[in-house]
Amino acid sequence: MDRRNSRVLLIAVVAIIAVACSAGSPAPATSSGPGTVAAATGATPLPVPAGSPPASMTPSASGPAPVGGAIDTAKLLALEPAVVCSLLTAGEAETILGKALYRAPEGSSSVVLGTGTSCHYAASDSGKTGTFIKVEFSSAGFELQSQLMGSAPRSLTVAGLPAVAAEVDPSARAGQSRMVVQLSSVPTDPGLYILAPTVAAAQQVAEAVIPRLASVD
């Protein structure tokens, strides 16, 4: 075999080897879910390096999602008192109190002492225990208000949301049971703060108010 034919044969052999190597190369890897990376060819999933968080734990660019669904807590402090009073009707308040209101529900708005906006439902002007309901959204936020519940606070779930509540002292002449419901995954955001004759009554108020929060303007 002359030198020219030998060179042609060598080139052909190199080309065949190159094609064979290319056919055996693995395809690019694709994700098969949190914690694994699987090859597109169906190879055994490979562990993700330690320090790489699962996809489900990756922070969202849109910020924390509300605990209670589509409740925009940012606008609660700016609600007009009349809107707050519409969240619980006078009839509902009378049913929960077991007494007729002596006046129409009265709303107020203030930033004094952390108060944002509220509505007061009173069966008398005495302010005595068991005679009124108050619904409030405060700039103090859920976390702080939950720490100021007084004696024997307890955690519970109300309308599917976390809450903290405390019963009023039965011997007290004034004061009400208290409850604050967390409306956002951010604990410093405003919660739904309620004063009522009992924790059970406060829960009834919360269960009436919360479904209406997503649609308030």
For 87-147, the DSSP string reads TS-HHHHHHHHTS--SS--EEEE--GGGEEEEEEEESSSS-BTTSEEEEEEETTHHHHHHH
pLDDT at 112: 54
Instruction: Return the number of other C-beta atoms located less than 10 Å from residue 194's C-beta.
Output: 28
Q: How does pLDDT run across 167-186, given as a tens digit for each residue?
A: 987 766 667 899 999 999 99
Cβ(84)–Cβ(137) under 8 Å? yes
| CA-CA-CA-CA dihedral for 193, 196, 202, 206, to nearest 10 | -50
* Domain boundaries defined on the chain: 27-58, 73-213
32/108 Cα distance (integer angstroms): 55
pLDDT at 42: 40
Q: How does pLDDT run across 69-127, given as a tens digit for each residue?
A: 568 888 898 889 999 999 999 999 999 999 999 999 999 987 555 568 999 999 998 87
In angstroms, the Cα distances linking 100 to 103, 132, 161 are: 9, 10, 30
Specify the length of the chain in residues. Answer: 217
201/204 Cα distance (integer angstroms): 5
- Whose structure tokens read 């068991």? 130
Residues in a beta bridge with 46: 37
Q: Which of 18-22, 28-32, 173-177 has the highest mean pLDDT?
A: 173-177
Pick the CATH number of 73-213 from 3.40.10, 3.40.1000, 1.10.3210, 3.30.1330: 3.40.1000
> Of the given ranges (40-44, 59-63, 87-91), which has the lowest mean pLDDT?
59-63
Cβ(203)–Cβ(158) under 8 Å? yes
pTM of the model: 0.66
Query: For all residues of the chain together, what is the average pLDDT?
Result: 74
In angstroms, the Cα distances linking 104 to 34, 89, 200 are: 55, 10, 23
In angstroms, the Cα distances linking 32 to 25, 35, 195 are: 20, 8, 50
CA 24 from centroid of its chain's CA atoms: 50
Mean pLDDT to the nearest integer, 136-140: 91
